[in-house]
Structure 1
Amino acid sequence: MEEKDLKILAKNLANPEGETGIKVGEMMNATNIGMTLESIKTLLVEDDEHILEIGHGNAADVKSLLHLAQNLKYTGIDISETMNSEAKRLNENFKSQAEFILYEGKKLPFEDKVFDKIFTVNTVYFWENPKEYLNEIYRVLKDNGTFVLTFAQRDFMETLPFTLYDFKLYNSDEMQEIVSESYFKRMKISEKEEQVQSKAGTETVTRLYTVLTIKK
């Protein structure tokens, strides 16, 4: 891909817009589904819980999440107007249980201690101030809640040409250090790998990623 195409891809991975954004959202859902399902499994979802997903994309995975337990409520937030619209369209049948909120990406628009479980996949590269954002997540998580933070590791991400443009990359140790500087007190780390289709081409690559299970 040429530089201008890589920049367009990078921009739409951070904040999908328009028709290109819809296509990128579909591609993200397909390539990230393994990481997303692993994150949801790690949450250990139980009946009657309220779950927040940060950076929901097109939210094509919400149906499978809602079937994991009884009487679940799902809230998804995203900075992309395009993904907000797509998520609502794709989950029209679940609007009694699932809501999608557009926000500015810094302050979570919720009261304190609202959510039982929170998860986010491949969004940390775009957090402007990670420690402050983690403290926002801490604020809206219940005292006995679980936050699952999942991201592809620096060594893998550096092999992808589009990450040169406005991506902040981390390895497991770096992210653990940032979390330890936030209000959160406990975390468990799990490192995984999977075979995925490259976003910038058609080849299959081995993705190394980290799942952090974080508690107060």
Structure 2
Amino acid sequence: MTILQRLIEQAKHPNGLIGSIMLRIMNVAHRGMTSWLIESGAIKNGDIVLDIGCGGGKTIQALSRINHHGKIYGIDFSEQAIRNATKVNKKDVASGKVIVKQASVSNIPYPDAYFDKIIACQTHYFWQDFAKDVKEVFRVLKKNGQFIIISELYKINYHREDYKTNKEIRQLFDHVGFQFVNIQEHKRNGWLYIMGTK
């Protein structure tokens, strides 16, 4: 396995010391995209929010700061990510405002129509069965709730073989049942923002 392949594997499933370092790097690297999410105004005070692929936990921390009366949940496939995210959000985890759990997007451990907002920042291109996983997200989203994906375009093009174009994404979201789909590109930074409203 090459060094690049090892790094990609650690990005997919952070593990051990290298994984912990990778999670810290991702926390810094994703800061701009998290700010773009917050500036969009999509997250409202009082929302129940799920962060899929919560990684090192800094996005959860940023969302908690603007969502004083809401609750933030995070799931990640990586046990190391859950440890790091718990540590970063220690105070909010202790108070019950933040709940992080090891879980997969393919089997979200929450009931139907539970969340107001669901976000996936720099993770969806790793999902094994994107169409099936979007249906699972739809299941746990409340009516009129919103599912937001933010990602770097070049990573989508590198990691995904399907659902790479805005047209494909829009068709999938329409097929799953989203009433409205908004897709924006941040040209300067090469970022993609997808928001589906149930």
TM-score (norm 2): 0.89
Provide Cα deviations, 1:165-210, integer angstroms capped at 9, x if missing partner.
xx2152333322332332223111110145xxxxxxxxxxxx4121
Partners of 1:178 and 1:124 in 2: how far apart?
A: 14
The residue identity in structure 1 corresponding to 2:166 is: S
Larger Rg: 1
User: What's the counterpart of residue 112 of structure 2?
Assistant: 112
The residue identity in structure 2 corresponding to 1:102 is: Q
Which structure has more relative contact order (CA 8 Å, sep 6+)? It is: 1
41 and 52 in structure 1: CA distance in 2 versus 1, 3 angstrom threshold = farther
1:23-172 correspondence to structure 2 within 5 Å? 23-42=21-40, 44-95=42-93, 96=95, 97-153=97-153, 156-157=154-155, 163=158, 167-168=159-160, 170-172=164-166
158 and 131 in structure 1: CA distance in 2 versus 1, 3 angstrom threshold = closer
Does the aligned pair in 1 maintain the 2:125–2:155 contact within 8 Å? Answer: no
Partners of 1:122 and 1:189 in 2: how far apart?
A: 16
Instruction: After TM superposition, give the deviation of residue 49 of structure 1 in Å.
Output: 1.6
The residue identity in structure 2 corresponding to 1:185 is: Q
Partners of 1:36 and 1:62 in 2: how far apart?
A: 9
Partners of 1:60 and 1:172 in 2: how far apart?
A: 28
Partners of 1:38 and 1:49 in 2: how far apart?
A: 18
2:172 is aligned with 1:178: yes
Which of the two has greater helix per residue? Answer: 2
Secondary structure at the residue paired with 1:175? helix
Instruction: After TM superposition, give the deviation of residue 43 of structure 1 in Å.
Output: 5.1
150 and 144 in structure 1: CA distance in 2 versus 1, 3 angstrom threshold = same
Which consecutive residues of structure 2, in runs of 5 or more, have no partner in the other structure? none
158 and 129 in structure 1: CA distance in 2 versus 1, 3 angstrom threshold = closer
2:163 is aligned with 1:214: no
Secondary structure at the residue paired with 1:106? helix
2:1 is aligned with 1:7: no
Does the aligned pair in 2 maintain the 1:57–1:78 contact within 8 Å? Answer: yes
Partners of 1:69 and 1:158 in 2: how far apart?
A: 29
Of 58-67 and 7-16, deviating more is: 58-67
The residue identity in structure 2 corresponding to 1:182 is: V
191 and 19 in structure 1: CA distance in 2 versus 1, 3 angstrom threshold = same
Count of equivalent residues: 194
2:186 to 192, 196, 202: 192
The residue identity in structure 2 corresponding to 1:15 is: H
Segments of 4+ moved more than 4 angstroms? none
Secondary structure at the residue paired with 1:67? helix
Secondary structure at the residue paired with 2:137? helix
